[in-house]
């Protein structure tokens, strides 16, 4: 185990040395502290896993700045509940990761690792970019509307947003409490499944057998490039057949009619919550 840990840590340190000066995914990165945490990590289902923690989530001994200069710079005293759970599973915190300001609209310094002039997506920008660069094995993020799905897509990693309330939000700075959900990023689906089994203490989800894949034909907007959209859709459908999956056509309009208004709810929640949280 120590030899494997040394190899993993060395590879991640090399990735950070290479990419962090250009991508800016991490907050207050300190390699000596990260290595010390790795050496002191316990044993469990996630032994040796390095974790980046979005900087709206508390890590004892570090401040939670939320990408805002006027927030309290003093270290917090306790871990968020999910950080405690990760440590109990044998993982260790390598660093905190950049967030948009208060997990909302104002971007942080993080760049998209695939194209430095492009956005990595927000608000969990640093977490997605860190996983994409191989800096860490798992990174925590949060989602109120699209803050896990979007950066995962932009950075080319797996983003997992579980059911609301599935993972504890204690110790997480709230944006819109009626919608806020904690999730995470990994480099592949196998790691995402293993992390979920460890964090929820549930058995891994069995294979569904025959896959059914929804093909949304109407995304409530026009494609930016209709020719490319048609070509990519055709290519994706061919992959479905290669995987012996059954594509099922659907539309987004039923969802629009039946859903709550997440953007409206988040605006109302955050407008009342952020000033109160900052005062505290």
Based on the residue annotation, tell me whether 123 is a catalytic residue of this protein. yes
Which residue in this structure is represented by tokens 């090399």?
14
Catalytic residue among 50, 97, 123, 270: 123
Other Cβ atoms within 10 Å of 90 Cβ, number: 17
DSSP state of 21: H
Q: What is the DSSP letter of 204?
A: P
Helix (H, G, I), strand (E, B) or coil at 111: coil
Would you say 60 and 77 are in contact if contact means Cβ atoms under 8 Å apart? Answer: yes
**Is 97 known to be catalytic?**
no
Q: How far apart are CA 99 and CA 255, in angstroms?
A: 29
Contact in structure between 204 and 210 (CB atoms under 8 Å): no
> Using CA atoms, how far apart are residues 83 and 103, in angstroms rounded to an integer?
18
**Does residue 90 have a cis peptide bond before it, meaning omega lies within 30 degrees of 0?**
no
Close Cβ partners of 267 (under 8 Å, ≥ 6 residues apart): 176
Query: Is 272 an active-site residue?
Result: no
Determine the Cα–Cα distance for residues 51 and 130; give it in Å rounded to an integer: 10
Sheet of 92-97: strand order equals: 26-27, 92-97, 50-54, 138-143, 181-186, 158-160
Q: Show the tokens assigned to 36.
A: 């010390």
Closest to 162 (Cα-Cα) out of 186, 142, 189: 142
Which of 50, 124, 127, 147 is flagged as catalytic?
A: 147
The residues that are catalytic are: 54, 123, 147
């Amino acid at each position: 185990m120590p030899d494997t840990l040394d190899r993993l840590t060395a590879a991640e340190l090399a990735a950070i040395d290479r990419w962090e000066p250009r991508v800016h995914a991490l907050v207050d990165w300190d390699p000596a502290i990260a290595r010390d945490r790795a050496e002191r990590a316990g044993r469990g289902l996630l032994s040796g896993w390095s974790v980046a923690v979005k900087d709206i989530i508390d890590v004892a001994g570090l401040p939670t700045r939320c990408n805002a200069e006027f927030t309290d710079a003093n270290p917090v005293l306790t871990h968020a509940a999910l950080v405690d759970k990760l440590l109990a599973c044998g993982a260790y915190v390598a660093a905190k990761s950049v967030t948009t300001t208060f997990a909302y609209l104002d971007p942080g310094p993080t760049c998209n690792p695939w194209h430095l002039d492009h956005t990595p997506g927000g608000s969990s920008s640093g977490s997605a970019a860190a996983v994409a660069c191989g800096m860490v094995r798992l990174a925590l993020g949060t989602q109120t509307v699209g803050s896990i799905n979007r950066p995962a897509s932009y950075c080319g990693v797996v983003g997992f947003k579980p059911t609301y309330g599935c993972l504890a939000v204690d110790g997480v700075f709230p944006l819109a409490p009626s919608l806020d959900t904690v999730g995470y990023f990994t480099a592949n689906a196998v790691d995402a499944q293993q992390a979920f089994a460890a964090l929820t203490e549930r058995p891994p989800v069995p294979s569904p057998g025959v896959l059914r894949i929804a093909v949304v034909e109407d995304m409530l907007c026009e494609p930016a490039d209709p020719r490319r959209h048609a070509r990519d859709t055709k290519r994706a459908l061919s992959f479905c057949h290669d995987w012996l999956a059954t594509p099922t056509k659907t539309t987004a309009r039923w969802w629009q009619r039946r859903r709550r208004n997440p953007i409206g709810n988040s605006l109302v929640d955050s407008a009342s919550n952020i000033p109160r949280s900052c005062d505290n």
